[in-house]
Amino acid sequence: MARSLSEFLEHFVLPLLGGGPLSVGAPLRMRERELLLEQAGELLRPELQFLRMRRAQLLVADPSLPAPDPDELSLWIGLHNTLVFDHPERHRVWSRSTVWRRVEGATRSLLTLPSPTSRGETLARHVSVGALVELTRADMVVSTPAGELRAIGQELPRRALRLLGPSDAVRHETVRWAEQPHAPETQRLLEDALRASPLTCVLRPLLAPPGWSPLSAADAFSDRALVRAICHTWARHRDWVAVGGAVAGALLPSLPDPSRPERAGPPQGEGPLALPGAVLPTDPQVLAGVVGALVHLHFLKVVELDARLGVAAVSRDPGVTAFLALPLLLPRLQDTMGAPLGGLEELDQHRTGHERLHAPLARRWIEYLDHLQELMPQGAVDKLLASLVPRIVQTP
Amino acid sequence: MSRPLLEPVGAGQTRFRMQGLSTDARGIAVGREVLITFPTIDWLVAFLGAYSDEASLDDLLPTMTLEHARRREGGHALLLRCAAGDGYAVDRLGRLAGSTRGQLYTGSGSVFLRWRQRDAPFGYDLVSPLAPEGEEVLVVDLDYAASYATVDRMDPVELIQRLQLRRVPLPLAGVSADPEGCGLKDLALALVAPGIASRVLRHLWRLETVFAGYYVQIEGDAQASLLLRIRQPRGRVLDVLYGTPGIELLAPVSSRAAVQVGFRHPIQLSSASGCLPGEEMFLFRGDVGRVERLPGPPRFIDGRHLVEATGAAMPRELGQLREAELEPLQVELQVRPALSPREPRGTLIAWEQVGLLRHLVYLMPPSALAASRVIPLDEGVVVITGSSIGARSRAAAAGLGAAAIVPLGRRLGEVAPGVLVPDGYELWPRVRPALTRQLLGLGPDDHALFLHPRVDPIRVTAEQLLPLDAALIGRLQLSETTVVEPELPALRAGEIENRKLGRFALWGFGRAPKAADERGSGQ
């Protein structure tokens, strides 16, 4: 248990943001949050603000983060408690399973935060949650004839080492925490933590919880620098088609279908829900931002000369199909949201010979579009033309 | 006003009143033959010459006939008849005929119509059918018709062979000044009169000319003349052959025809191989006004078989060399004053003047600096720029180094590669430069310096030559840079360290009264 906010920051938050060993101990209670908040001045520590800013600057040059607030402290506590459920010595705690369920509920309530309302807040959430999914863990592993003995994020007990024979090898493994199997509670709480940070979901769409939509990160898609960072983060993935497919697959179900009747309100008589359902923005500009970013991902790969190879085999996943069909919608969308080559061809018209820098690029892009045209079934394009395009191109 | 005899053909018209007219691909009415009338034979020759310059006469010759005709109304004309091709070929004939006072008509048999003009781009057709009388040829123009009766027929091939050659001017400096313009650059033919054949052969043999020849019997001559073929003749040979009476120099114009130098055939013979039938070789001689038809293709024999060897002297093998007896010949190599000036290639600067040299260095161009070497000696500093120093730059090759520029010290001139003597002196006797180096016992990269006429030379090896620029400039000290480590390490991911929990009771998570707790657990 953290006795003070500075101790909590020292042992958990600062290592979480800046690297280094972060210690996970007993879960923090809701009451302790109130106690920590009494020392809220500690939240303005320069090193904490500096680390937040540096981590946010991995994405954009001028993050303009708001100062840490009680919501952010709740998030940190929630993240700490999420890690507690993976603690290898959890069975030594004197408690019943119902108590653990209460711990999970309290943690979930800490992680349940309102949607970020500004760009700075979106970034601040991602600073913490993004650091969580990047955490590593140093395991100490001993292979014995009887099997493998693994100390998860700990040193092996001395008595275990004493029993080792000369042929038993001790090795240290550093693994990524997010990719390891988790306790069921941790798995559920991790989804809650990701829901609290829409930007992290956008950047790591393969980890995003079910039901997530990129439209929940509307602030991110209306900021040019942030969209650029998102596109380049996607493009760094080896399996960028799956990443784009995950985003497109999450986007399409969240669009309200005009042919479907409006969703009925909450059934009466069963008591109110704990929180009102999130209302996703369906502003055409936000939609155009998401679609434009996905098209730009194609363009980045064409610039890298990687595209032809990547889309040779088409997946049966509808998200991937929709993602690959998006550039084919450009003739209908480019008047509204622009095109990757917008303006470059006009620049080249005034140049001659080798000064026409963009001519090979334009040729590759057109070849890529032709390749996609041959690859994609017309039905997928027609479906997008009916569902997505009218939401972006709105005729008065 | 007279009634027009011809009417223009309309676009797309396919039926004509005159027989034999048909349309080509462009819709132009073309007859099977064309007829060109010339007022004199000179204009006919001019037409043939112009046509042979532009196209091949071989296309026309198979169907060409030349007739000398009399006009019924009075006057004569020369008629050239040949088969008409398409509209383009007839257009070309019309253009050339117009330039040589000829009139072009098209038609067939004995009736010919005017060829198309600007007023009638598709040609003309008869207004009413006309027919000539007897053997005459009827030529119909817009407003008159003329009948020609053939008086005489000429063979075009024979005409071309009998044409008189035309003189052309030769370069004032002689044939050798412009062999290409005279057509003699690669090959020259010479027809040598029988009386001087052997002397010409001997002369060519002495000049080491590559030639071949054989004797040809020319009609009317008692003895056979010599026809020579000289490949890539030198100017001297051409001048001799052209200026000698009894020798006619001929330039080949095609594989089987040659025209005398200084004359030109009115027809371009290279485009009229049909004019030269058979395998004979034709020599067009301008001076005597004859065409020689040599029987059969030329069979030249190499020149070395044509000359006869008359030498009877046999060289004697040299026996023992008498080296010892050469001693009385040997003389001392000495330095003596010379009158002829030499280009300075080095300078000996006393140590007192080195300070001045240091100032002058700033004025020197970089190529001169790079081409100079310096040798520090007790007497002073010798700066040399020789052709023997690796001539990497143009300045070094031209000897334009610092030594030629610096106005200090005693100048040194180069009498042999790498052998320098004071200015105003030379080595006596004047032996070959390579022998001078050999006599001085110099290695390939060594230099010999005669710093004073009465002082023995010194030998400088390549290692002792210091580059001038490197010797002048003191070593520059570069300050070592210090690499500044970035203060902040890159951000790393956090590492989970599960603290030892021990045994403790998990309390405090009871039913919390907070509304927020309840809301959260309901999710």
CB-CB under 8 Å, A153 with B497: yes
Query: What does the pLDDT average to over A100-104?
Result: 90
CB-CB under 8 Å, B505 with A93: yes
List of chain B residues whose C-beta atoms are within 8 Å of the C-beta of residue A92: 501-503
User: Mutate which of A80, A109, A139, A204 to disrupt the B interface (most B C-beta within 10 Å)?
Assistant: A109
CB-CB under 8 Å, B496 with A83: yes
Type of residue found at B149: A
pLDDT of residue B42: 92
Which of A174-183, B11-20, B132-141, B324-333 is least confident?
Answer: B324-333
Find the closest chain B residue to A58 by CA distance. B491
Choose the closest CB to A112 out of B505, B514, B520: B520
CB-CB under 8 Å, A154 with B500: yes
Give the best-scoring range by mean pLDDT among A30-34, A200-204, A253-257. Answer: A200-204
> Which among B247, B252, B251 is positioned nearest to B226, based on CA atoms?
B247
Query: What does the pLDDT average to over B404-411?
Result: 83
Residues 246-275 of A with CB under 8 A from B: 273-275
B277-303 confidence digits (pLDDT tens): 778 888 999 888 888 888 878 888 888
Task: Look at residue A298 and give its three-state secondary structure.
Answer: helix
Dihedral (Cα; A284, A286, A287, A292), 10-degree rounding: 120
User: Mutate which of B509, B511, B514, B518 to disrupt the A interface (most A C-beta within 10 Å)?
Assistant: B509
Tokens found for residue B367:
């190529």
Q: What is the full DSSP assignment across B353-386?
A: GHHHHHHHGGGS-HHHHHT-EEEE-SS-EEEE--
Give the best-scoring range by mean pLDDT among A369-373, B68-72, B170-174. Answer: B68-72
Dihedral (Cα; B53, B59, B65, B66), 10-degree rounding: 0
List of chain B residues whose C-beta atoms are within 8 Å of the C-beta of residue A106: 509, 512, 517, 520-521
Judge residue A259's burial from the number of C-beta atoms within 10 Å of its C-beta, 0-12 exposed, 13-18 middle, 19 or more buried: exposed
> Which among A27, A378, A154 is positioned nearest to B509, based on CA atoms?
A27
- Does residue B518 carry a pLDDT above 50? no
List of chain B residues whose C-beta atoms are within 8 Å of the C-beta of residue A105: 517, 520-521
Distance, in Å, from the CA atom of B363 to the CA atom of B398, rounded to the nearest integer, reads 19
DSSP state of A145: T
CB-CB under 8 Å, A103 with B497: no
- Does residue B433 carry a pLDDT above 90? no
CB-CB under 8 Å, B521 with A93: no
pLDDT of residue A149: 81
> Which among B276, B308, B312 is positioned nearest to B294, based on CA atoms?
B276
Please report which confidence band the pLDDT of residue B515 belongs to, taking 50, 70 and 90 as the band edges.
very low
> Which among B278, B126, B112, B251 is positioned nearest to B183, based on CA atoms?
B251
pLDDT of residue B31: 92
A127-159 confidence digits (pLDDT tens): 999 999 999 999 888 877 777 888 888 888 777
List of chain B residues whose C-beta atoms are within 8 Å of the C-beta of residue A31: 508, 512
Which of A218-222, B293-297, B325-329 is least confident?
Answer: B325-329
Tokens found for residue B312:
């009877």
Distance, in Å, from the CA atom of B24 to the CA atom of B13, rounded to the nearest integer, reads 11
The chain-wide mean pLDDT, for chain B, equals 84
* Residues paired with B13 in a beta bridge: none
Which of A185-194, A296-305, B129-138, B305-314 is least confident?
Answer: B305-314
List of chain B residues whose C-beta atoms are within 8 Å of the C-beta of residue A87: 498, 501
CB-CB under 8 Å, B520 with A105: yes
- Does residue A83 carry a pLDDT above 90? yes
- Does residue B169 carry a pLDDT above 60? yes
Distance, in Å, from the CA atom of B434 to the CA atom of B455, rounded to the nearest integer, reads 22
Please report which confidence band the pLDDT of residue A264 belongs to, taking 50, 70 and 90 as the band edges.
very low
DSSP state of A256: P
pLDDT of residue B523: 36
Q: Is A96 left (phi over 0), alpha (psi -120 to 50) or beta?
A: beta
CB-CB under 8 Å, A31 with B508: yes
Percent of chain B at pLDDT > 90 equals 22
- Does residue B522 carry a pLDDT above 60? no
Helices (H), A198-283: 198-203, 218-221, 224-236, 240-254
* Residues paired with A367 in a beta bridge: none
CB-CB under 8 Å, B504 with A103: no
> Which among B94, B85, B106 is positioned nearest to B35, based on CA atoms?
B106
How far away is chain B from the Cα of A218, in angstroms, using its nearest Cα? Answer: 23
CB-CB under 8 Å, A21 with B498: no
**Helix (H) or strand (E) segment spanning residue B49:** helix B41-54
Task: Look at residue B509 and give its three-state secondary structure.
Answer: coil
Find the closest chain B residue to A23 by CA distance. B497
- Does residue B144 carry a pLDDT above 80? yes
pLDDT of residue B191: 93
Distance, in Å, from the CA atom of A177 to the CA atom of B498, rounded to the nearest integer, reads 12
CB-CB under 8 Å, B508 with A19: no
Distance, in Å, from the CA atom of B97 to the CA atom of B120, rounded to the nearest integer, reads 19
The residue assigned the tokens 């430069």 is B433
Q: Which residues lie below 8 Å from residue A382, measured CB to CB, with a gap of 6+? A: none
Please report which confidence band the pLDDT of residue B321 belongs to, taking 50, 70 and 90 as the band edges.
low
DSSP-derived pairing of the beta strands B466-467 and B373-376: antiparallel
Q: Is B502 left (phi over 0), alpha (psi -120 to 50) or beta?
A: left
The chain-wide mean pLDDT, for chain A, equals 84
pLDDT of residue B57: 87
CB-CB under 8 Å, B497 with A22: yes
Can you tell me the ipTM of this complex?
0.78
How far away is chain A from the Cα of B485, in angstroms, using its nearest Cα? Answer: 18
Which of A192-196, A329-333, A362-366, B485-489 is least confident?
Answer: B485-489
The residue assigned the tokens 């071989």 is B58
| pTM over cut 0.95 | no
Distance, in Å, from the CA atom of B229 to the CA atom of B251, rounded to the nearest integer, reads 10
Query: What does the pLDDT average to over B23-41?
Result: 91
CB-CB under 8 Å, A136 with B494: yes
Distance, in Å, from the CA atom of A231 to the CA atom of A296, rounded to the nearest integer, reads 7
> Which among A178, A183, A182, A180 is positioned nearest to A194, based on CA atoms?
A178
Query: What does the pLDDT average to over B26-39?
Result: 92
How far away is chain A from the Cα of B482, in angstroms, using its nearest Cα? Answer: 27
Percent of chain B at pLDDT > 70 equals 89
How far away is chain A from the Cα of B469, in angstroms, using its nearest Cα? Answer: 42
Cα maximum dimension of chain B: 148
- Does residue B473 carry a pLDDT above 90? no
Choose the closest CB to B504 out of A94, A102, A108: A94
**Helix (H) or strand (E) segment spanning residue A165:** none
Give the best-scoring range by mean pLDDT among B318-322, B445-449, B508-512. Answer: B445-449
Tokens found for residue A135:
């955490």
CB-CB under 8 Å, B514 with A83: no
Residues 161-190 of A with CB under 8 A from B: 174, 177
| Cβ atoms < 10 Å from Cβ of B124 | 27
The residue assigned the tokens 């004019």 is B275
